Amino acid sequence: MNDVHKLGGSPRKRSVSSPRQASTRSSRRPALQPSLQSALEFQALSLGGVSRTFALTIPSLPGPLRVPVTNAYLLCRIADTIEDDAGLSVAEKRACGRGFIDVLQGTCSAAEFAESLAPRLAPETLAAERDLVARLDQVVEVTRSFGEVQRHALIRCVSLMSDGMHRFQQQVGLRGLDSQQRLDEYCYFVAGVVGEMLTELFCDYSAAIARRRRQLMRLAPSFGQGLQMTNILKDVKADRERGVCWLPRTAFGLSPDGQGDLIAELDEDRLRAGMERLAVIAHGHLRNALSYTLLIPRRYLGIRRFCLWALGMAVPTLDNIYRNPVLESGDEVKISRVDVRRIVRRYGLMASSDALLRGLFRRDSRRLPESDPGVAKGLDAISRNASARAEAGHSEYREHELQDSLSAN
| pLDDT score at 369 | 86
| pLDDT score at 404 | 40
Whether the predicted pLDDT of 387 surpasses 90 = no
Length of the chain: 409
| pLDDT score at 331 | 76
| Cβ neighbours of residue 236 closer than 8 Å, sequence gap 6 or more | 245, 247, 263, 275, 327, 330
pLDDT of 24-62, one tens digit each? 333 444 556 778 999 999 999 999 999 988 999 999 999
Dihedral through CA 221, CA 224, CA 228, CA 229, nearest 10? 60
| pLDDT score at 374 | 78
Closest among 68, 70, 132, 121 to 96, alpha carbons compared:
121
Contact 230, 179 (CB under 8 A): no
Q: Is the fold of 34-171 the same as that of 172-377?
A: yes
Portion of the chain with pLDDT greater than 90, in percent: 71
pLDDT of 69-96, one tens digit each? 999 999 999 999 999 998 899 899 999 9
Which helix (H) or strand (E) segment holds residue 280: the answer is helix 268-295
Closest among 162, 119, 169, 111 to 140, alpha carbons compared:
111
Whether the predicted pLDDT of 296 surpasses 70 = yes
| pLDDT score at 409 | 32
One-letter amino acid of 77: R
One-letter amino acid of 359: G
pLDDT of 183-217, one tens digit each? 999 999 999 999 999 999 999 999 999 999 999 99
Whether the predicted pLDDT of 21 surpasses 60 = no
Question: How far is Cα 210 from Cα 201, in angstroms, rounded to an integer?
Answer: 10
pLDDT of 104-153, one tens digit each? 999 999 999 999 999 999 999 999 999 999 999 999 999 999 999 999 99
If you average pLDDT over residues 376-396, what whole number do you get? 70
In this prediction, residue 377 has a pLDDT band, given cuts at 50, 70 and 90, of confident
Whether the predicted pLDDT of 247 surpasses 70 = yes
pLDDT of 141-176, one tens digit each? 999 999 999 999 999 999 999 999 988 988 889 999
If you average pLDDT over residues 367-396, what whole number do you get? 73
The domains of the chain are located at 34-171, 172-377
| pLDDT score at 371 | 77
Maximum separation of any 2 CA atoms in the chain, in Å: 73
> Per mean pLDDT, which range of 7-21, 250-264, 351-365 is the poorest?
7-21
Question: How far is Cα 397 from Cα 409, in angstroms, rounded to an integer?
Answer: 19
| pLDDT score at 132 | 96
Whether the predicted pLDDT of 381 surpasses 50 = yes
If you average pLDDT over residues 320-336, what whole number do you get? 81
Q: Which CATH number fits domain 34-171: 3.90.190.10, 3.50.30.50, 3.30.70.20, 1.10.600.10?
A: 1.10.600.10
pLDDT of 394-409, one tens digit each? 544 444 443 343 333 3
Question: How far is Cα 322 from Cα 340, in angstroms, rounded to an integer?
Answer: 19
Question: How far is Cα 233 from Cα 249, in angstroms, rounded to an integer?
Answer: 14
Residue 83 neighbours by CB distance under 10 Å? 20
334: left (phi over 0), alpha (psi -120 to 50) or beta: beta
Classified by CATH at the fold level, domain 172-377 comes out as Farnesyl Diphosphate Synthase (1.10.600)
Question: Angle 63-84/34-50 helices, nearest 10 degrees?
Answer: 60
Higher pLDDT, 337 or 390: 337
Contact 63, 199 (CB under 8 A): no
| pLDDT score at 403 | 39
Instruction: Please provide the average confidence, as pLDDT, over all residues in the chain.
Output: 86
Contact 11, 205 (CB under 8 A): yes
